[in-house]
Amino acid sequence: MARSFRLSVVAALLVFCSCCWSASWSWAGNEVSVPVLVYHRFGPTVADSMTVTTSVFESQIKWLEANQYTVIPLRTLVSHLRGEGPAPPPKSVVITADDGHKTVFTEMQPIVRAYGIPVTLFIYPSAISNASYAMTWEQLKELKQTGLFDIQSHTYWHPNFKKEKQKLSPEDYRKLVEAQLQKSRIVLENRLGSRVDLLAWPFGLYDDSLQKDAENAGYVAAFSIDRRHAATSEAVMALPRYLMVNGDGTKGFEAIVTGRSAGKGPTGY
């Protein structure tokens, strides 16, 4: 009787441990991991290292569609990573574009509208309606009205915080960071009438102090260009993105989306 009882207890413990191990393994294997892609400029031909031709961009969107990927809003991913929303569907992808180049309006927009995909634009307001390469405020408003473009912050004039920190006094640097983070939000919100609380780090540069500054300025998430999928294990104020170039084509694009090219490719802009 005693021996039978002991065997029953051992068997029960083995089943319990097995269940715990399986549950732990399943939880670890189900961590959300989503590629966030960042584009800059578009056109019929490659004008510079940051240009992705319109035909290549459309071929990449077609590849996503053909392979049953879902392009989700960036905010959907952020909400989940912050523990505030459900997990995005399997095979999700996020598309972003930085700087506010005029080809986002002329070249990217028709494809985005044709396929009905959401895009987040990270804008530095000092260029809008001022720089010859940039969109106008009227064009940004038109993009926003499509319901497909969410417009967020890329600081006010895209400074290189690393260089500024080296040449400015600590007090002047602190004032610069505060102005870049806050003025961008204020201008974008006043001009476009929508919430601005997501940030893309200029040149992908950030440190622990900047992450705290961004959080204090009211941002809920910020993005680098560290080449890996965004996941719950990442710091929410330094979430990674893949910098896209024309040479990625569709084969390189597939490697990026499926996670085979993490850590490889361009690392600065």
| pLDDT at residue number 27 | 27
pLDDT for position 148 = 98
- Contact assessment for residue 44 and residue 34, using Cβ atoms and an 8 Å cutoff: no
* Rounded percentage of the chain residues whose pLDDT exceeds 70: 86
* Beta-carbon contacts of residue 69 (< 8 Å; ≥ 6 apart): 91, 92, 93, 257
Residue ranges covered by each domain of the chain: 1-30, 35-257
pLDDT by residue for the chain (269 residues), tens only, comes to 443 433 333 334 333 333 333 322 222 356 889 999 999 999 999 999 999 999 999 999 999 999 999 999 999 999 999 999 999 999 999 999 999 999 999 999 999 999 999 999 999 999 999 999 999 999 999 999 999 999 999 999 999 999 999 999 999 999 999 999 999 999 999 999 999 999 999 999 999 999 999 999 999 999 999 999 999 999 999 999 999 999 999 999 999 999 887 666 655 55
CB 126 within 8 A of CB 156: yes
CA distance 152 to 200: 8
Contact 89, 73 (CB under 8 A): no
CA 56 to each of CA 43, 48, 60, 249: distance values in angstroms, whole numbers, following the listed order: 10, 15, 6, 6
If you write DSSP's letter for every residue of 201-212 in order, what string do you get?
-GGG---HHHHH
DSSP-derived pairing of the beta strands 230-231 and 221-223: unpaired
pLDDT, position 33: 94
Residue 238's alpha-carbon distances to 71, 180, 198, 201, 231, in angstroms, are 21, 17, 11, 8, 11
Tens-digit pLDDT profile for residues 16-48:
333 333 322 222 356 889 999 999 999 999 999
First vs last C-alpha separation in the chain: 74
CA dihedral sign, ordered 220, 224, 228, 233: negative
Q: Which two tokens stand for residue 8?
A: 């029953």
CB environment 224-258: b (16+ within 10 A), e (fewer): bbbbbbbeeebebbbbbbbbbbbebeeebbbebbe
- DSSP lists the bridge partners of residue 239 as 223
Architecture of domain 35-257 in CATH?
A: Alpha-Beta Barrel (3.20)
